[in-house]
Structure 1
Amino acid sequence: MTDTNPPPSDPQHNKQPRVSSRCGVLLIFLLLSIISLAMRLLNLPLNRVIELRYCKEYYQQHEPSVVGPDGNVPEELCKIDGVQKKLAWLEGVIETSLVVCDLVVTIPFGSISDRLGRKIILVLNTLAITVLFAWLLLVGKLDAVFPVEAMIAAPFLSLFGGGDCVLTSTVFAYLTDFAGDIPTRTSYFAYVSSLSYIFSLFGPILASTTMSLNLWLPFYLGIGLLIGAFPIIAFLPQPALHGTSANEPTVDATEETPLVNESMSQDESADTPRVDSSITKGILLELKGILCLVTGRPNFQLLLVTVLVLGIANSNTSVLVLYISKRYGRTFAEVGYLLSIKAAVNVLLLTVVIPILLKAWLPRNSELQVTANFFGAKASLLVSFIGALCLGLAAKLWLAIIAIVIFALGTATTVFILSLVKSPVISAKEDQASGRDFSIVIMVKMIGTLIGTPLMTAIWVQGVAAGGTQLGLPFFVSSILYLVVLATVWNLHVRWSE
């Protein structure tokens, strides 16, 4: 009688969960690929749509003969200062608002996903991005109905589903749910990074090609891809919520549980229904846990300062497209192909060069691993300084291309700095809070971007007004900030060595 049901360890009993997990991981990668490609299709054509609207308004007032019967104005005539200042202002407002809204909802949606499941967050996120695309398309096309400034409403749609940060954190949480052990989880995260590099390479090329055929084609393709993402979400298997698996060891559950659950683990064991009914309380406890982890850890505080300033410095990429287009008189489609050069260098550096160099640095020695991370961070920051300075000074396009390649070689800085988070520099041995440390670092990085995007936009507008070499002002400022980050990393290395 007792043998009628197979025991839990029976292979037939566990076969279905393993198949479901493998299927879920593949579907998550497919979903992330579709949404990432759709979002990569937006940036370049959006620049041209906004530029065209302002350009048409300008020439209708000053030289109506330039405006064609279809309302089009040749792109080379739109590089005048008045148009470019307005373009930079609106782009800066949209990007800053999007980061703010994404940051505001990241923690609440993370808490909701822990209680109600990941699927609902993915549905809301994809829906928000789709509606955002549709609104930008609608405002761009109906110039007789909406002023171009109505695009500012688009980022606030992400309050109902989040943006890139919510998507990434939900995908990581989903993969953590499916991963059976830490090495598997790490490999999943590496695949996510690889997908990001791939779409950084091919996204601008596809956007440039499609917008050369029809300015609105990237928008149509993006919306089509996003609509196709909903059936994939529907087929995603629902993993067990944290804490529901009886077979999962306590230590692993603590390691893999997101920020909310780690900070609430004791309360949940005492009164789970009461805590589950109060998402607000969970968020407050989570914020309290963040403060406790930061205070009393000087090295971690210095690392957060490093990440914050680095986020501000890296925000120069928000004006890179405008800079190349304005200074060298290139169309946005041509700029897309140039950006692919930068992305190709990133892919080669992060997937081939860095792994080979690290393997050559005796990776089995923990102390040498930390030294390698410090050396790599300092070298990358020095290269970033040189690249940003050369890009700001480049008077010719061919010089700018060389500077972009140099600048791209410094993109490994973030990788090396993030590698320090779980090193003895920051975390104690067997530190169970390292997962939360990563969450804090990512949030600080986002705050740096939040500060840097409007700052670089304002500096770019001043550069446009001044003209000449001062067009490179955002990159001159970034080069100084890279030196500041280099000094903080150097200080952190000295403190650890002592």
Structure 2
Amino acid sequence: MQLPRTPEDPEREPLLGERSSPAARDASPNPLSRHHRRLLLLVCATIVAADFGSALALAPQISIFESLICRRIGDGVDCKSPEVQGELALLTGWKETADQLPGIILALPYGFAADRIGRKPILLLAVAGVVLEDVAIRLVCWWNAALPLRMIWATPVFQIIGGGSQTATAMVYAMITDMVPAEKRASVFYIIAAAILLGEILATPTSAFLMAWSAWLPSLLSILFELLGLFSAAFIPETRPEATQAIKGNQDEEEREDSPISEDNADHGQNYPSKPTYHRWKDTVKRYWMHIQGTSVKSWNFNMVYIVCTFLLASIGRQALQLVIPYASKRFSWSIPRASFLVTLKGIINLVTLLFILPPLSTWLSKHASMSPALKDLRIVQGSAWLLTLGTILMSLAAQPPLFTFGLCFLALGWGFYSALRSLATALVLSSQVGVLSSCIGLAQSTGSLIAGPILAAAFRHALRMDGLGMGLPYMMTGGLFFLASCLTCLVRISGARSRP
């Protein structure tokens, strides 16, 4: 189904076409409906509970891994020694890599399933698979005398159920896209990102407090909160557009009417038998492939290449956040609970940025600088990218905690980059191409996370054997990646960027 086209400038139309005016997007008088607010509340509750559980286990899990590695190596070994820390980095790095494989392999099949049976069942399966994986990790650690610790690399197999966290994230954004008006979507993306950060902010000090008794207490409690997230997801209403299903049903009906077998059955007053499940899935894949082939190539220009590549580079850099706790613990001789407060500081700054800095800045750029929605998002993306670059470079050069914390603050100020970049990408394509775009972004992020684990783990292990500035090697590499991402955002060009008075 083709959207209506304007005759003014067909070459520019896919970039900014079929989008409402800046005034409509930024100053829309229509608030979210009661149904939309209920959906957003349930989605946020699910995200906060699940992410709170995940963040609650972050520092305790590192502490448990560290103690088990020390015990395996032998008595009298310093847990901060390069040997122990190198094994810890290797363990967590390859675990991060293994976590990305199910999402990459199963994204497309579960995407098709979500279009046929709905978003909600796939979301529930994805969250359930993540919970089972975390339970398996706890069991491996508990039975460490009989099971090697590296067996946690096999636990992502449970993500076959639902496709893992990447699929869950895709379902959340799909639900928001289904139900929230386009002019409200960017603001809702900021709210979703803020909800994720809220889980981190609440979980980190709670985890540090509980670790004073035992690292196992917050580790096991995290499973309970993840189950609460699963319970909350069960109350989210289905958002799959019925219109899409009606169109598909009409297409199937037309195919049956054109089929000779269908005509023969009609002559005899018989109904055409339903197709086997294999053939129905085959037809679904064929329709999606024809849709992708029929997508307008004009909108997928170099801008889209730059944006997808930016997601790839920034996703690699994003994984460096996982090293904050072990890196600060080693370099500054901090305890793990103390180092975990850096994550809380970052989360607080992120929350303030997403809720109180970026929305007013977005409004100001639109009203006072007369920028179109796409150009406004682009400027926010570019500024955030340079803040990420500056922050990681300062962290790599920091020999004392204050400078490292200062760099982390810059990193936190630029963390709205990911939400703004997603909003920019959505503004540069037609509505009918958002699904294809989301698949490309998801694949880029998964691929970036896949290769980031071993690269950053190897850099961290090498840095442990160095002194001075050499210890900042992981963040030097991260700063280089963010610098390349910043350069790519400067290559994005937007036609007709200024709004008309």
SS at match of 1:411: coil
Which residue number corresponds to residue 328 of structure 2? 324
Separation in structure 1 between the aligned mates of residue 286 and residue 391 of structure 2, nearest angstrom? 42
Structure 1 residues 148 and 180: CA distance shift in structure 2, 3 A = closer
2:55: which partner in 1? 40
Contact 1:208 1:334 in 2 (8 A): yes
User: How many residue pairs are counted as aligned between the two chains?
Assistant: 446
Q: Is 2:57 aligned against 1:56?
A: no
- Indicate the residue corresponding to 2:472 in structure 1: 472
Q: Does 2:157 match 1:156?
A: yes
Instruction: Name the CA shift for 1:270/1:53 in 2 (closer, same or farther; >3 Å).
Output: farther
Counterparts in 2 of 1:219 and 1:294: CA distance versus 1, 3 Å: farther
Q: Distance in 1 between matches of 2:284 and 2:370?
A: 36
TM-superposed deviation, 1:42: 2.2
* CA shift digits 1:305-343 (9 cap, x unpaired): 222222223222232222111111112211211111111
Counterpart AA for 1:136: I
The separation in 2 between residues aligned to 1:451 and 1:266, in whole angstroms, is: 43
SS at match of 2:432: coil
Which of 375, 383, 388 is residue 384 of structure 1 equivalent to?
Answer: 388
Q: Is the 8 A contact 2:54 2:226 kept in 1?
A: no
| Range moving further from structure 2, 486-495 or 125-134 | 486-495
Q: Over the residues paired in the alignment, what is the CA RMSD in angstroms? A: 3.3
Could you tell me whether the CA contact under 8 Å between 1:267 and 1:275 is conserved in 2?
no
CA distance in 2, matches of 1:20, 1:357: 28
Q: 2:304 aligns with which of 296, 300, 305?
A: 300
Change (3 A) 1:338 1:239: closer
Amino acid at match of 2:169: T
Instruction: Please give the alpha-carbon distance, in whole angstroms, between the structure 1 residues aligned to 2:34 and 2:307.
Output: 41
Residues in 2 aligned to 1:184 and 1:359: alpha-carbon distance in whole angstroms: 13
Which has the higher mean CA deviation after the structures are superposed, 222-231 or 444-453?
222-231
In the TM superposition, 1:420-459 aligns within 5 A as 420-423=424-427, 426-427=428-429, 431-459=431-459
Aligned-partner residue type, residue 114 of structure 1? D
CA displacement at 1:220 relative to structure 2: 1.9
Whether contact under 8 Å (1:290, 1:440) holds in the other structure is no
Q: What is the DSSP-based 3-state SS (H/G/I as helix, E as strand, rest coil) of the residue aligned with 1:362?
A: helix
Q: 2:365·2:376 contact (CA, 8 Å) conserved in 1?
A: yes
With 403-412 and 369-378 compared, the bigger mean Cα shift is at 369-378
Partner of 2:141: 140
Deviation, structure 1 residue 152: 1.3
C-alpha change, 1:458 and 1:352, in structure 2 (3 Å) is: same
Asked if the contact 1:313/1:478 (under 8 Å) is kept, the reply is yes
The Cα shift of 1:234 comes to: 4.6
For residues 209-240 of structure 1, give each alpha carbon's deviation from its aligned partner in whole angstroms, at most 9, with x where no partner exists: 22232211122212222334454455454556
C-alpha contact 2:126 2:159 (8 A) present in aligned 1: yes
| 1:494/1:175 CA distance change after superposition, 3 Å | closer
What amino acid does structure 2 have at the position aligned with 1:85? G
Go from structure 1 to structure 2 and tell me whether the alpha carbon gap of 1:379 and 1:234 turns closer, same or farther (over 3 Å shift).
Answer: closer
SS of the counterpart of 2:212?
Answer: helix
Tell me if structure 2 keeps the 8 A contact 1:308–1:447: yes
Distance 2:287 2:332 in 1: 51
Q: Work out the CA distance in 1 between the residues paired with 2:331 and 2:296.
A: 43
Equivalence for 1:13: none
* Gap change, CA 1:488 and 1:230, over 3 Å in 2: closer
TM-score between the two structures when normalised by the length of structure 2: 0.79
Look up the match of 1:6.
none
1:375 deviates by 3.0
Residue 487 of structure 1, CA deviation: 2.0
Correspondences of 1:65-464 after superposition (within 5 Å): 77-176=78-177, 179=179, 181-183=181-183, 188-238=188-238, 242-243=242-243, 268=252, 270-271=254-255, 274=275, 278-279=280-281, 282-283=284-285, 286=288, 297-363=301-367, 367-423=371-427, 426-427=428-429, 431-464=431-464
AA of the residue aligned to 2:65: I
The one-letter amino acid of 1:487's match is C
AA aligned to 2:85 is: Q
In 2, the alpha carbon distance for the partners of 1:317 and 1:446 equals 16
- Per the alignment, residue 270 of structure 2 pairs with none
Opposite residue 73 of structure 2, the aligned amino acid is Y
> Which residue type is aligned with residue 405 of structure 2?
I
Structure 1 letter corresponding to 2:146: V
State the AA in 2 paired with 1:417: L
Q: CA deviation at 1:458?
A: 1.6
Comparing 297-306 and 282-291, the one that deviates more: 282-291
Residues 330, 241 of structure 1: CA spacing in aligned structure 2 closer, same or farther, 3 A cutoff? same
1:436-493 residue CA offsets vs partner (Å, 9 max, x unmatched):
3234223322222222222112211221233432121111112222222222222224
The answer to whether the Cα contact below 8 Å between 1:114 and 1:241 also exists between their aligned partners in 2 is: no
In 2, the alpha carbon distance for the partners of 1:265 and 1:448 equals 38
In the alignment, structure 2 segments of 5+ residues that lack a partner are 1-32, 257-273
Q: Is the 8 A contact 1:127 1:161 kept in 2?
A: yes
Residue 289 of structure 1 and its aligned partner are, at CA, apart by: 5.0
> What is the distance in 2 between the residues matched to 1:452 and 1:147?
24
Kindly state the Cα deviation for residue 402 of structure 1 after the two structures are TM-superposed. 1.1
| TM-score for both structures, normalised by structure 1 | 0.79
SS of residue matched to 1:212:
coil
**Given that residues 108 and 283 in structure 1 are in contact (C-alpha distance below 8 angstroms), is that contact kept between their aligned partners in structure 2?**
no
Distance in 1 separating the partners of 2:466 and 2:397: 15
